[in-house]
Structure 1
Amino acid sequence: MPGYGRLLVTGAAGFVGRHLLVLLRSRFPEAELIAACRPEDGALPSPDGADRVVPFDLLEPAACAAMIAETQPDGLIHLAAQASVATSFNDPLASWRANLMGTVALAEAVLHHARHCRFVLASSAEIYGMSFRDTAPLDEGALLRPANPYAASKAACDLAVGEMALRGLDAVRLRAFNHTGAGQTPSFVVASFARQIARIEAGQQAPVMQVGALDRWRDFLDVRDVCAAYGAALAAGTIPGAVYNIASGTPRRIGDILDALIARSGVTPAVELEPDRLRPTDVERVAGNAGRAAHDLGWTPTVPWDETLDVVLSDWRGRVYHS
């Protein structure tokens, strides 16, 4: 396992970032954890938070070089992104500026100021897009056919980082499939369901669930398993530019997830389709082949899906109670 004196996480104040800091603290106890966050995100919690926080904004790429030159990370996990598909349809240019230009500026700063640093990119299975209509599960050789502006911007930065590996960037690209867990925002489907159920239980919402397309199949992971994959990518010896699917290999029907969450509650809500939750372009079934990650990184998911659902619903019950 490589030794790390300083580990930098961009987007550390976000949903995945807060879980990742816990994982990194455990797996690399001697490393200094540096959280790169937008100033408006505020300080991170301790003791499981960062040792220090530095300002970072994907929309200000000129500041990346100074930040990397000052922090001199040995390992960097780049989580920061404009990650909402719905937002990307409303403002495609914002996704391109943050996800492509911000990532390229950050990676170029690493090349010029911290060439020794391992750069782990949080890519996305969304970049496969319409290829899921042809076959599933997909491995890393599948064509990139993104079906929304968010996915297109992530595909572009995935390719850009792959090219930069040819110029000396010690890069690893992880294409994570859907993941959920405690702390996720309700713009994502499992969290949306759990929040609505918790609000109905608390009498804060009428007993009606607003949903998007239920007859879709998605490959879900617990966020803790995804964070374990990021840790494995730091620890493993991989060739520069290596790419790995991070997937369960088990597609789950969205409607069945809704039914499983309702069954955990004391409510029997009506279910209404909300057209605004539907995507202009979509695929019915998504599944990934993560065999390469198992072989090269020693990574496989371990958190049971029922435990994930229990955690998400419990988290939202607590958040609603304290709201």
Structure 2
Amino acid sequence: MGESRTALVTGSAGFIGYFTCRRLLADGFAVIGIDSLSDYYDPELKRRRQAGLLQNAGFTAINEAIETPGLLADLFAQHQPDIVIHLAAQAGVRYSIDNPRTYLESNLVGTFELLEAARTHPPQHMLLASTSSAYGANTEMPYRETMKADHQMSFYAATKKATEAMAHSYAHLFELPVTMFRFFTVYGPWGRPDMALFKFTRAMLEGEPIDVYNHGDMMRDFTYVEDLVEAIRRLVDTAPERPQSPEDIAEGDSLSPVAPWRVVNIGNSQPVQLGEMIAAIEDALGIEAKRNLMPMQPGDVPATWADAQLLHSLTGYVPKTDIREGVQRFVEWYRDYYRV
């Protein structure tokens, strides 16, 4: 195995997708990347990421929406992927309030098409992106995978929690090994323009005030993108197996008692105050931010904090990039990309 495996990555021109494909290509995988290059944010950024991937002969780009009926079924039949990493989704909490149908189509219908394709041509392991937002109204921190997660606070989070349940049913019925991973506020070079780090950096360079929600009383478990990808890469080779009995499930493991399915947090395990992130940008730019203090936004949560013990027990790895180091790398990329 190893060097000749084929991976299918959805959302391959996205922020996380780009770094994931890059890593798989470096490890010798043939990578089929699917991305609709949607205009939710600047498609030029997606095209530039994709152009970088296309410089590798092992990468194939398909610019289509995953919810297109039959598209994924045809790709699975043609390429018989060994590994599937499902990152394509309509992202963003705020956008889901105004445009819920796009979340229904991309996140639910798109994931359904993927699961149906996998049912006919089963891969060795499917890894599907979920979100820390799935923990919803939980106030006990840090978040552990074995906690109940029933009270999602945005339609975005609700669709991602629904995909976990959908994937579980397919894992149970068709013996498809599935790992769901819940991301915690991913950031870094090539990041998304709708995320706070990008918006704050742009505003500060343009001399504009930054919108600081909940008057800055927010904590996020900021996770550097290459740490996230390292975790994903290690999880690729850690496919869950259906337990013989519930007694076989280790304490703290989210492994299903009835399916080869588990959910894994990928986070830095170090919640950071929003003010600390802003200070890191100020230091990296040499500019003091003008703050526009705002109330909490609908659907948002005041804090996230990952317990990453399960990730560590499965892979021996936990993310560890410090917020100041990660922000510095982002700012260097931003200045270079936009020539500012």
Identify the residue that residue 257 of structure 2 maps to in structure 1. Answer: none
Q: Which of 239, 255, 264 is equivalent to 1:244?
A: 264
Identify the residue that residue 230 of structure 1 maps to in structure 2. Answer: 232
- Displacement of 1:207 in angstroms is 4.5
Secondary structure of 2:285's aligned partner: coil
TM-score (norm 1): 0.89
Q: Which of 30, 33, 36 is equivalent to 2:34?
A: 36
- Displacement of 1:191 in angstroms is 1.9
Identify the residue that residue 217 of structure 2 maps to in structure 1. Answer: 215
The size of the alignment, in residue pairs, is 309
- Displacement of 1:183 in angstroms is 0.9
Q: Which of 184, 187, 203 is equivalent to 2:191?
A: 184
Stretches of structure 1 lacking an aligned partner (at least 5 in a row): none
Identify the residue that residue 136 of structure 2 maps to in structure 1. Answer: 129
Give the counterpart letter for 1:136 in structure 2. Answer: M
Change (3 A) 1:106 1:22: same
Q: Which of 66, 75, 80 is equivalent to 1:72?
A: 80
Provide Cα deviations, 1:40-65, integer angstroms capped at 9, x if missing partner: 76553244585211243133243221
TM-score (norm 2): 0.84
Q: Which of 87, 97, 108 is equivalent to 1:89?
A: 97
1:152-163 equivalence runs, <5 A:
152-163=158-169
Structure 1 stretch displaced more, 167-176 or 260-269:
260-269
**Residues of 2 paired with 1:74 and 1:307: CA distance?**
35
**1:52 counterpart = 2:53:** no
Identify the residue that residue 179 of structure 2 maps to in structure 1. Answer: 172
Contact 2:80 2:123 in 1 (8 A): no
Secondary structure of 2:61's aligned partner: strand
Secondary structure of 1:130's aligned partner: coil
Change (3 A) 1:289 1:269: closer
The RMSD of aligned alpha carbons is 2.1
- Displacement of 1:266 in angstroms is 2.6
Q: Which of 313, 317, 333 is equivalent to 1:295?
A: 313
**Residues of 1 paired with 2:301 and 2:110: CA distance?**
28
**Residues of 2 paired with 1:273 and 1:104: CA distance?**
41
Give the counterpart letter for 1:142 in structure 2. Answer: M
Provide Cα deviations, 1:275-320, integer angstroms capped at 9, x if missing partner: 6xx4213332211111011001222113333220101111222233
Contact 1:77 1:119 in 2 (8 A): yes
Percent identical among aligned pairs is 26
Change (3 A) 1:4 1:143: farther
Give the counterpart letter for 2:333 in structure 1. Answer: D
**Residues of 1 paired with 2:75 and 2:270: CA distance?**
40
1:110-125 equivalence runs, <5 A:
110-112=118-120, 114-125=121-132
**Residues of 1 paired with 2:201 and 2:265: CA distance?**
27
Change (3 A) 1:3 1:171: farther
Secondary structure of 1:250's aligned partner: coil
Contact 2:25 2:56 in 1 (8 A): yes
Stretches of structure 2 lacking an aligned partner (at least 5 in a row): 39-45, 242-259
Structure 1 stretch displaced more, 41-50 or 181-190:
41-50
- Displacement of 1:157 in angstroms is 0.4
Structure 1 stretch displaced more, 59-68 or 266-275:
266-275
- Displacement of 1:210 in angstroms is 3.2
**1:138 counterpart = 2:156:** no
**Residues of 2 paired with 1:55 and 1:208: CA distance?**
37
Contact 1:186 1:195 in 2 (8 A): no
**Residues of 1 paired with 2:238 and 2:2: CA distance?**
8
